């Protein structure tokens, strides 16, 4: 019989039950002067228990899923499913050469013996690829994201968290800044793709449409972007940063850098509008030569969605005067957070 391969959490007794079992095993019997050695398991027996545990857990998961279905909500159906689950577990354990009573006994031993538990957890981790209990494996942060632990406390941190960590409305629940950066990179990538085929009008027009989709999918519903849009994400950066600055607990540091962050983000939005206008001209071009002349402008403006531009030729890109973009918004978010950590 095949069972669903779905590793589940390691079985565990309650702390009180484990303590009772451990105490009973360690206590000397009446009339004896020396304690009786506690039962234990060989490494092979622990491995066998891990294999049996995974099979039994898969049966439990499958049965629980069926029990949750509306058609199985009657008392009769629930009783039938419970009976069938017991039969499947007995059958599966028998195939592993293990009786129900032996399986239960070994579960208690593992739950009450720290050494056996460590062996069990280690083998389970190797078999399933899951981290050892108590070991947190942090997911890599998206570009522009910041760990929640680095944010200020209270509602200031909540609003800034929407900018740099997570927001429910984005497709992958990322923050507005990571989303804006991702969409801007897609726009710049497809502008560059268009530039590779200066003699192919259809190709340039196709990639121009992809640029529009990445910046504002409302104007180009299909494409390789995330479906959220750089403009919308950049607007979220500005809006939620400003909400953080309006909180009564916002520090002077927050209020100052929010101006820089919001200004740079809105500059990116303005550049997005420029890129869309150029992309639409490319879509309306009737010759490859006419489109190619516009593509070079599109490449430049899409690169500036992140990098910004040195408009006053002073050798640096600032947050204001129309220069800043997503990179400058990210830089000033970093300065804001660093300033909040100072005593």
- List, for residues 281-314, the tens digit of each pLDDT value: 999 999 999 999 999 999 999 999 999 998 888 8
Domain boundary among 66, 95, 128: 128
Identify whether the C-beta of residue 108 lies closer than 8 Å to the C-beta of residue 49: no
Domain boundary among 65, 96, 128: 128
Is residue 133 one of the residues assigned to a domain?
no
d(CA 123, CA 49): 10
Identify whether the C-beta of residue 269 lies closer than 8 Å to the C-beta of residue 234: yes
Same domain? For 114 and 175 the reply is no
Q: What is the mean pLDDT of residues 45-65?
A: 82
Identify whether the C-beta of residue 267 lies closer than 8 Å to the C-beta of residue 325: yes
pTM, entire model: 0.59
Is residue 95 one of the residues assigned to a domain?
yes
Within the chain, residue ranges assigned H as helices are 15-26, 43-67, 75-95, 100-112, 114-128, 154-164, 176-195, 201-215, 230-246, 252-284, 288-307, 326-341
Same domain? For 332 and 198 the reply is yes
Is residue 8 one of the residues assigned to a domain?
no
- The three-state secondary structure class of 6 is coil
Same domain? For 50 and 167 the reply is no
- List, for residues 311-321, the tens digit of each pLDDT value: 888 888 889 88
Same domain? For 299 and 206 the reply is yes
Same domain? For 316 and 175 the reply is yes
- List, for residues 71-81, the tens digit of each pLDDT value: 887 888 888 88
Same domain? For 211 and 114 the reply is no
Which structural domain range is residue 68 located in? 15-128
Q: For residue 124, what pLDDT band results from cuts at 50, 70 and 90?
A: confident
Q: What's the total number of domains in the chain?
A: 2
Same domain? For 157 and 103 the reply is no
């Amino acid at each position: 019989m095949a069972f669903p391969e779905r590793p589940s959490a390691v079985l565990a007794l309650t702390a009180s039950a484990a303590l009772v079992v451990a105490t009973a095993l360690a206590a000397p019997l009446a009339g004896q002067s020396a304690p009786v050695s506690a039962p234990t398991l060989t490494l092979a027996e622990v491995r066998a228990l891990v294999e049996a545990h995974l099979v039994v857990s898969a049966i439990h998961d499958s049965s629980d899923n069926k029990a949750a279905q509306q058609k199985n909500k009657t008392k009769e159906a629930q009783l039938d499913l419970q009976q069938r689950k017991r039969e499947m577990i007995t059958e599966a354990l028998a195939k592993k050469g293990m009786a129900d009573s032996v399986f239960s006994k070994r579960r208690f031993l593992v739950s009450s013996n720290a050494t056996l538990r460590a062996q069990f957890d280690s083998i389970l981790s190797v078999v399933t690829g899951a981290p050892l209990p108590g070991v947190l494996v942090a997911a890599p942060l998206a570009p522009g994201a910041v760990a929640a632990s680095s944010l200020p406390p209270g509602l200031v941190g909540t609003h800034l968290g929407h900018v740099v960590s997570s927001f429910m409305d984005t497709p992958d629940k990322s923050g507005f800044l990571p989303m804006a950066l991702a969409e801007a990179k897609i726009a710049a990538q497809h502008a560059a793709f268009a530039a590779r085929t200066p003699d192919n009008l259809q190709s340039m027009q196709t990639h121009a449409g992809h640029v529009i989709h990445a910046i504002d999918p409302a104007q180009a519903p299909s494409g390789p972007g995330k479906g959220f849009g750089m403009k919308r994400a950049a607007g979220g950066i500005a809006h939620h940063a400003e909400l953080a600055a309006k909180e009564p607990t916002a520090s002077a540091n927050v209020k100052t850098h929010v101006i820089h962050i919001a200004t740079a983000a809105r500059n990116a939005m303005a550049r997005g509008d420029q890129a869309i206008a150029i992309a639409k001209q490319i879509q309306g071009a009737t010759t490859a030569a006419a489109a190619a002349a516009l593509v070079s402008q599109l490449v430049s403006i899409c690169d500036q969605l992140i990098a910004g531009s040195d408009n006053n030729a002073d050798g640096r890109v600032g947050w204001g005067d129309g220069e800043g973009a997503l990179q400058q918004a990210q830089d000033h978010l970093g300065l804001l957070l660093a300033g909040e950590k100072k005593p």
